[in-house]
Chain A
């Protein structure tokens, strides 16, 4: 039973354009969501998060949107840069869970 789903295994975007990565969740107990970025041969690094009481959080080129009624969140990267090419993981946490529940990830390729 996948509690966090990232249905797009890969995404290719031109440099300078917007990248939109999507994530769906099923667990209503989640009260905090995070995005992690992972380069090959490195551990995941925290990118941005959002509390369930908000619907938007912005940090520089990165914005996360949360639609609680649809149990859907998305990460927007504007403008996209070649250095953004990585695997992006969506994760949820909350309720009795102190751990993170990750999706399978979306591999983003930003082409020059």
Chain B
């Protein structure tokens, strides 16, 4: 039973560039959430996708956008990268949407913006 998989694991970009991160949810899950974890901080909610729609959004600017595909996989796009976007980006999946809040996380994509 495959867990949550994310790609790429590491990447380096320069300011102003755009980045796309990818996530495949755990088998049987159809809800995907994205979190940003800056150094020394806890994960911070970016948004959640269910039925190919953004259902909830945290306090992140419009430069952060996403997409969910019919197979439930998801992408996170960040435009006009800033130095402050350097962080570990975590994808989490859950049942639909699981009211207990239990999420299954991937290993994350570490983004460095120079």
Contacts and interface: CB of A to CB of B under 8 A. Distances in A.
Interface of A: 4, 6, 32, 34, 36, 41-46, 49, 89, 91, 93-94, 97-105
A63 B29 CA distance: 28
B42 A103 contact: yes
A91 B101 CA distance: 9
Contact of B56 (A43, A98, A101): A98
Interface in B1-47: 4, 33, 40-45
Interface of B: 4, 33, 40-45, 48, 55-56, 58, 90, 92, 97, 99-108
A52 B64 CA distance: 33
Nearest to B4: A43
A103 to B, nearest CB: 5
Contacts, number: 57
Given A46-B102, A91-B101, 12 more contacts: A32-B101, A34-B101, A36-B105, A43-B107, A45-B105, A89-B43, A98-B48, A98-B55, A98-B101, A99-B56, A100-B103, A102-B43
A46 B42 contact: no
A26 to B, nearest CB: 15
30 contacts: A6-B42, A32-B101, A34-B101, A34-B102, A36-B105, A43-B4, A43-B90, A43-B92, A43-B107, A43-B108, A44-B43, A45-B105, A46-B102, A46-B103, A46-B104, A49-B100, A49-B101, A49-B102, A91-B42, A93-B101, A97-B56, A98-B55, A98-B56, A98-B97, A98-B101, A99-B45, A102-B44, A103-B42, A104-B40, A104-B41
B101 A102 contact: no
Given A89-B43, A101-B45, A103-B42, A44 B102 contact: no
A35 B36 CA distance: 18
Name the residue in A44, A45, A93, A97 with the highest tally of chain B Cβ atoms < 10 Å from its Cβ: A44
A36 B6 CA distance: 19
B45 A100 contact: yes
